[in-house]
Structure 1
Amino acid sequence: GKSTLSNQLLGRKVFPVSKKVHTTAMQSPGSFGQYRFRYISLSFLAVLVLVDVSDHWTRNCLSQEVLKCLSEFPHVPSVLVLNKVDLLKKKYILLELVTELTEGIVNGKNSSAKTCGIVTEAQGPKPHECRDLKNRKGWPRFQEIFMLAALTGEEVDTLKRYLLMQAKPGPWEFHSGVLTSQSPQEICDNIIREKILEYLPLEVPYGVTQVTELWEEGPSGELLIVQNLVVPRKSHMMMLIGKRGTVISKIAQEAGQDLMNAFLCDVRLKLKVEVKS
């Protein structure tokens, strides 16, 4: 849900999203702002820990990798984000998860949770010192907790307002109109890759190599893109093309529309498929 949440916060689809793993293969910083912040730069360094509450196998504890990161940088503000709450039929589970994932402490105080939005705070003991990470399931130094559904946008604005309120004026790291540090070519590759992941089965999409052959402005200001999709086997090529070209046509059509939404201009996308020689 990380890419979905990032797209919702940015207000535009910049990061690829699919049901398969490793859809977003690189670190892709993004930036967003409201109209009233148009002429000044605001920055807020924080760690957002995203937990999929619909996954009953992983939702009850933070991973060792996440805990290690949090423990190595305890001075960096951290926020717990419980995602996909719309898929949870038994909402009382959220209260149990809050207790486990925060060890009962939020912003240095005992926490008492609500079923949506931000967790309220009550007086209580300060966070205790870090103990052995192997015996730890949660983190007692989260400043806030948010419960949302990134896919539908439920409570995402609450998180966005919090991030904007916490942000402080500073120098522009990127131009005020820039949404992401990715290049346009990287955005294009990622969007096409998302569609390939959606339409090809099993490990097949991971063997596709993308080669951009043409990237130029057309006579009417439209963006002309030709990309060659190279696959290792002829059987993979047949799957990617589909019967009567239906699969590759769907990929080109959907990716082209997403590219127009991302670049705010007309895009003509042509995809070619070949077997690696």
Structure 2
Amino acid sequence: ARRWAASWASPPRHRPPLWASTRRPWLPTKVSGAGYRPAPPQDDPDPQRGLAASKPLLYLAEEQRRLLENRPDQPQNPKVLRIAIIGAPNAGKSTLSNRLLGRKVFPVSKKVHTTRCKAWGVITHENTQLIILDTPGLTNPLKAKRHNLDEAMLTDPWDSMKHADLVLVLVDVSDHWTRNSLSKEVLKCLSQFPHTPSVLVLNKVDILKKKFLLLEIVADLTEGVVNGKKLEVKSAFKQDSSSSAKSPLQITQPSPPQGKVPRSPCGQEKNQAQEGSALDRSSVVGGAGTGEAQGPKYYGPEDLKDMKGWPHFQEIFMLAALHGEEVDTLKRYLLMQAKPGPWEFHSDVLTNQSPQEICDNIIREKVLEYLPLEVPYGVTQVTDIWEEGECGELLIVQSLLVPRESHKRMLIGRGGKVISRIAQEAGQDLMNAFLCDVRLKLKVEVKG
């Protein structure tokens, strides 16, 4: 027996992106490319729906293949930066990638291991191209076996580090179990590539009620050192456990000697950011040291046993990726770090993923969201129909194969409510991605 659910989505009204950078007077009024709309109301189940649609993703595989094979339209004096984003599962890596891109390109859910393989997103602004390497969360073989994960889930983050010019290490500060130390997998990854510049990004700071805890978190995760200089942390508020979200924080470093300019191109902006900044709208808080930083030393397995943090971060950023808070600050910093070099993609490319991969990711995101425990990790997706309709709409029929009859009942839901909701929400996201009418049908079957 089969159960069907269908969804029909209409194209959105195209609106120009709105910008939210006016809160920071030291920032330009625009950053680049596709922006993001102001954060939606807190009760919106998917705040990433606020991402602005600049240009559609191609929904025909042949067109996407030709675009990827197209020679890059090199500008004068091109610059490029490859950015690997690593961190523990569910730290918000794909959410941050989507915000930087200004488009929902990568799957996002509250469950771990939503991202199943390495994927690239491309930001092109003027003569600069940023290539974002979105990777699965760093995990170990035991956890990979428990969640029925492919071997690529273990190797992709390491492969991304090999190609990266800069690495963002994302930490979820709302998780009180893990926020004061980097995972052993992250430390191993950093220690294997010690000369790749790394930046610490503290995510979900809007959820952290006691902002003074960020002092402790920063000290632990950096081992008290940023850009080769010891951090001098000064609190501008009383150490009161009831401190509100608007309590200011200052993280300072020794003043540079006369005649010396801080190495970082953002030094002046960071100094302004540190003065009286409120952490509910967090900004760059660490960074420019005095003089040249010493190169990272080699760390062996014995050294990593006692390490909680990484003392070679060049910068620290604090943000809330889900609602876009301070993502523009990070994006501007990344654009400034780009080095002279040829572009790797045509300026029209947004991602290296095929249309079918984007579709699979979107549907899997909804399956992860609505099925309990380990059940969604056993669902296999098979696309039966993918074609363009007579009126230009995209017709998709996909089978969701589950190992047990009980899982089938869970996926269908009482009265077909669960599968219908998955089809409706996935269809809406597909429409937002491809900017065309989408007719999506899902059917649930037990694996034969």
TM-score range relative to shorter protein: over 0.9
1:191-248 CA deviation, whole Å, 9 max, x = no partner? 0001001111122111111000011111122211110111112221121111221111
- Cα distance in structure 2, aligned partners of 1:212 and 1:51: 35
Amino acid at match of 1:118: V
Do 1:77 and 1:142's aligned partners in 2 also have CA atoms closer than 8 Å?
Answer: yes
Structure 2 residue matching 1:273: 3-state secondary structure: strand
Specify the alignment match of 1:110 in structure 2.
230
- Cα distance in structure 1, aligned partners of 2:324 and 2:439: 30
Partner of residue 119 from structure 1, selected from 253, 273, 285: 285
What displacement does 1:130 show?
4.6
Partner of residue 172 from structure 1, selected from 343, 363, 366: 343
What displacement does 1:28 show?
1.4
Do 1:53 and 1:83's aligned partners in 2 also have CA atoms closer than 8 Å?
Answer: yes
1:151-185 CA deviation, whole Å, 9 max, x = no partner? 11111111111111111343232222222211111
- Cα distance in structure 1, aligned partners of 2:354 and 2:342: 21
Indicate how the Cα distance of structure 1 residues 169 and 126 shifts in structure 2: closer, same or farther if over 3 A, else same: closer
Amino acid at match of 1:249: S
- Cα distance in structure 1, aligned partners of 2:212 and 2:118: 34
Do 1:223 and 1:268's aligned partners in 2 also have CA atoms closer than 8 Å?
Answer: yes
Q: TM-score, normalised by structure 1?
A: 0.92
- 126-135 or 199-208: bigger deviation: 126-135
- Cα distance in structure 1, aligned partners of 2:122 and 2:349: 7
Indicate how the Cα distance of structure 1 residues 161 and 13 shifts in structure 2: closer, same or farther if over 3 A, else same: same
Specify the alignment match of 1:16 in structure 2.
107
Specify the alignment match of 1:92 in structure 2.
212
- Cα distance in structure 1, aligned partners of 2:337 and 2:435: 30
Specify the alignment match of 1:232 in structure 2.
403
Specify the alignment match of 1:6 in structure 2.
97
Mapping 1:176-191, distance limit 5 Å: 176-191=347-362
Specify the alignment match of 1:30 in structure 2.
121
Mapping 1:1-277, distance limit 5 Å: 1-34=92-125, 36-37=126-127, 41=129, 45-112=165-232, 113=251, 114=274, 115=279, 116-120=282-286, 121-123=288-290, 126-127=293-294, 129-131=297-299, 132-277=303-448
CA RMSD of aligned residues (A): 1.9
Indicate how the Cα distance of structure 1 residues 169 and 257 shifts in structure 2: closer, same or farther if over 3 A, else same: farther
- Cα distance in structure 1, aligned partners of 2:337 and 2:436: 33
Amino acid at match of 1:198: E
Query: What is the number of equivalent residue pairs in this alignment?
Result: 274
- Cα distance in structure 1, aligned partners of 2:297 and 2:322: 36
Q: TM-score, normalised by structure 2?
A: 0.58
Do 1:81 and 1:145's aligned partners in 2 also have CA atoms closer than 8 Å?
Answer: yes
Structure 2 residue matching 1:176: 3-state secondary structure: coil
- Cα distance in structure 2, aligned partners of 1:98 and 1:54: 14
Do 1:67 and 1:133's aligned partners in 2 also have CA atoms closer than 8 Å?
Answer: yes
What displacement does 1:33 show?
2.9
Do 1:68 and 1:133's aligned partners in 2 also have CA atoms closer than 8 Å?
Answer: yes
Structure 2 residue matching 1:197: 3-state secondary structure: helix
| Structure 1 unaligned blocks of 5 or more | none
- Cα distance in structure 2, aligned partners of 1:264 and 1:79: 34
- Cα distance in structure 1, aligned partners of 2:298 and 2:319: 28
